[in-house]
Amino acid sequence: MLKLAGARLLDEGDLRAVRAVLDADPVASCMVSSRVEVAGTDPWRLGGELWGFGRDGMCFSGANLVPLAGGPAAVRAFADRALRRRRACSSLVGPAEQVLGLWQELEPEWGSAREVRADQPLMALAGAPTVRPDALVRPVRPDELDRYLPAAIAMFIEEVGIDPRAEDGGVGYRARVAELVAAGRAFARFEDGEVVFKAEIGAMSARVGQIQGVWVRPERRGQGLGAAGTAAVADRLVRGLGRVASLYVNGYNAPARAAYASIGFTQVGQFSTVLF
C-alpha cells in the first residue's frame, strides 16, 4: 500500500488493498468495514482517516483509534503519525496485539489512560443460537426513545465509567441513540413501560454485525434475561439479516462470558481497549 518510510493517508487508489485487509478478518474489522463499505476512504464521509503501512498494515483514526493489522514496524509508524497531532480519540480499540503495542508507543507522550482493558475476548456466532431467543425482545420504536434512553445511559455509565451527558447535557448521546433506533438496530424488552433488557447492533458490515450495549436492569439480573435477550438480537443478525453475530466482552466479566458461551458464541480473537 505504501513505502516503508512511515504511515501514510490512504485514498481511493488504495481501496482494493484496504478491502483485502478488512476481508482477511471480517469479525475484527467490522467497525471499520461498516464505514468503508458506505464511504470508501474519503475522510469526510468516513468520519476519520485510514492509515497504511507496508503491504497490510492499517489503522483507522477517528473518534476512536483502531489499529487493525500490522507488525511492530507498522505500530511504530502509526504511533509516529498519531503523535504529530493533538490526541482527539476517546479510546484505542481493536486487536489486542496492535492496541497494546500502539499504547506502549503512545503512553510516554499521551500520559496515563483512564483505564486499560487488555483482556477482551472477541466472540462470534454464525448459526442459530443454542438458547431460546426472548420473543419479547424487539426493535425499539422511535416514539419509545424517551423510555429507552435512561437504560442506554445507565448501561454507558456502568460499562464505560463516565456519564455520556457530561459534556453537552446529553444532546450528542441522545442523537447517537436516536440514530440506532431509527435504523432498527436498538432492541429492548419492555415491562410496564420500562426497559428490563437492551442491546444494540452498533456496527454492521456486509458480513458481520457487532452487538454492543448489552444491559439488564439490576434487580432483574440472574434470571436469564441477558442470555435470552442477546440470543434474540444474535438470531436477528444471523437468520434475519444473514450476518455473523459478534461481540467483545471484558475478560473479568465471568457471568457475561458464560451467558454468551451458552448462546453458542465462541472466541475468535482477542481485543483490547484503552479508555481516555
- Give the CA angle between residues 223, 225, 230 to the nearest 5°: 145
What is the model's pLDDT at position 6? Answer: 87
Distance of CA 253 to the CA centre of its chain: 17
Q: What is the pLDDT of residue 167?
A: 86
Q: Which residue has the cell 476512536?
A: 64
Judged on CB neighbours under 10 Å (0-12, 13-18, 19+), 254 is: exposed
- Residue tagged 457475561 (cell numbers): 256
Give the helix/strand (H/E) hosting 155: helix 145-160
Q: Is the pLDDT of residue 28 over 50?
A: yes
165-195: pLDDT as tens digits: 998 999 999 999 999 999 999 999 999 999 9
Q: 130-174 pLDDT, tens per residue?
A: 999 999 999 999 999 999 999 999 999 999 889 999 989 999 999
1 pLDDT above the threshold of 50: no
Amino acid letter for position 69: A
Label residue 111 by pLDDT band (50, 70, 90). Answer: very high
Query: Distance (Å, rounded) from C-alpha 137 to C-alpha 225?
Result: 10
**pLDDT mean across residues, the chain:** 95
194-235 pLDDT per residue, tens: 999 999 999 999 999 999 999 999 999 999 999 999 999 999
Q: Look up residue 16 and give its three cell numbers.
A: 482494493
Measured CA to CA, the distance from residue 235 to residue 231 in angstroms comes to 6
